[in-house]
């Protein structure tokens, strides 16, 4: 039996993006899927090109956004199914100063592709927003769970093999390109555990309400996103001390307290989810090849902007492996070789 061109270890957002890049470029692969994927399975999949805290563009948004949109459209065509739901993001202003800052940025040519003009007459029933909203134009949100499930079925039908258990690091010989896409589980990887990935715990809630009819995304130090029917996802918390994806009472209470500060509609909590985000202290992804074993590669550290980052940089990593193209120093794991 012919060996595959690549092994992918991990079936979260990084792994599934890597698989599609390999498929689009006619490479065979086998996936080690331990069925964990704690971050991707609970992620909202929101694509946000704006950093609200400083009202700046997200890192490399002008390059990543159009690439990601085209990439997911290409995937949808292959799957013959939708994984992206078109939505905009409505940011609740905290003051008139917020509104003024928004108008200044919106009039700037560098931002008007993402920031739409304010509308003082716009209201969302059930939401207290005395200073109004700023609307962010984006191509929507990714159904991360559907993306994983549909992609796995697609690749199985195409003959790609999935091994449903963890990868054995104690292999005596490595003669195939292996791409580790393990998320926060990289801390257990003896080849790449020197990389300073910081697991970040987050809780989300699913609530049910008949009062809120809004189908886009609302943001005010948290998000409210319509899922289907009367169900909405709200989130998310950030906890840097927890290392396991367990739902916490503290996280639930924090989200409810935040929601009640600006929401005046009745709702009930249906369920709670928790995940561990793979974040890096410099907030840049981790891409590259092991400094000693050139068959071992890593794609990790996608953080909270992973849906936007993963398509573009999965292609960059593949070109690095196959065509020996250089990876930018800003994201190359060579920046952390001193920790090896």
Domains in the chain (CATH in brackets) are: 6-44+144-196+282-339 (3.50.50.60), 198-280 (3.30.9.10)
Residues of the chain with pLDDT below 70 are 1, 37-38, 172
Strands (E) across the chain are located at 6-9, 29-32, 50-51, 56-57, 84-85, 89-92, 115-116, 133-136, 141-142, 161-163, 177-180, 197-208, 217-219, 223-228, 231-235, 268-280, 286-289, 296-300
DSSP-assigned letter for residue 292 = S
Cross-strand bridge partners of residue 30:
7, 161
In this prediction, residue 37 carries a pLDDT of: 65
What pLDDT score does 172 carry?
A: 65
> For 214-264, what is each residue's pLDDT tens digit?
999 999 999 999 999 999 999 999 998 888 889 999 999 999 999 999 999
3-class SS of residue 134: strand
Residues 6+ apart with CB under 8 A from 185: 10, 34, 36
Alpha carbon distance 58, 263 (integer Å): 27
Can you give the pLDDT at residue 48?
95
Q: Which residues of 254-291 are buried (b: 16+ CB within 10 A; e: fewer)?
A: bbbebbeebbebebeeeebbbbbbbbbeeebbbbbbbe
Residue whose entry in the numeric block shows the structure tokens 């196959």: 322
Q: What is the pLDDT of residue 73?
A: 98
Task: Please tell me the pTM assigned to this model.
Answer: 0.94
For helices 61-79 and 13-24, angle between their N-to-C axes, nearest 10 degrees: 70
pLDDT number for residue 311: 98
What local confidence, expressed as pLDDT, does residue 13 receive? 95
User: What pLDDT is stored for residue 89 in this prediction?
Assistant: 96
> What does the block give as tokens for 76?
């949808």
């Amino acid at each position: 039996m012919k060996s595959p061109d690549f092994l992918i270890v991990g079936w979260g957002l990084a792994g599934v993006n890597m698989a599609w890049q390999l498929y689009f470029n006619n490479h065979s692969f086998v996936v080690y899927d331990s069925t964990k994927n704690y971050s991707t399975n609970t992620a909202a999949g929101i694509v946000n090109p704006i950093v609200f805290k400083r009202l700046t563009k997200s890192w490399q948004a002008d390059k990543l956004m159009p690439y990601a949109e085209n990439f997911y459209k290409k995937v949808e065509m292959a799957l013959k199914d939708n994984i992206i739901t078109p939505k905009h993001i409505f940011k609740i202003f905290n003051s008139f100063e917020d509104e003024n800052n928004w108008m200044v940025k919106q009039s700037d040519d560098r931002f008007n592709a993402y920031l739409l003009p304010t509308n003082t007459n716009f209201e969302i029933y059930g939401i207290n927003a005395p200073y109004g909203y700023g609307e962010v134009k984006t191509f929507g949100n990714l159904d991360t769970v559907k993306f994983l499930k549909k992609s796995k079925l697609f690749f199985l039908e195409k003959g790609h093999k999935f091994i449903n258990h963890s990868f054995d690091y104690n292999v005596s010989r490595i003669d195939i390109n292996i791409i580790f896409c393990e998320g926060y589980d990289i801390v257990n990887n003896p080849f790449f555990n020197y990389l300073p990935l910081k697991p970040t715990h987050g809780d989300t809630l699913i609530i049910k309400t008949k009062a809120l009819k809004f189908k886009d995304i609302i943001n005010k130090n948290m998000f409210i996103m319509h899922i289907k029917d009367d169900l909405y996802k709200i989130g998310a918390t950030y906890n840097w001390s927890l290392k396991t994806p367990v739902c916490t009472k503290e996280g639930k209470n924090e989200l409810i307290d935040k929601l009640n500060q600006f929401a005046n509609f009745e709702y009930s909590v249906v369920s709670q989810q928790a995940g561990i985000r793979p974040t890096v202290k410099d907030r840049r992804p981790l891409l590259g090849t092991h400094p000693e074993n050139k068959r071992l590669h890593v794609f990790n550290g996608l953080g909270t902007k992973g849906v936007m980052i993963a398509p573009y940089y999965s292609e960059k990593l593949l070109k690095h492996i196959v065509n020996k193209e250089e990876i930018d120093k800003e994201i190359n794991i060579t920046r952390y070789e001193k920790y090896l």
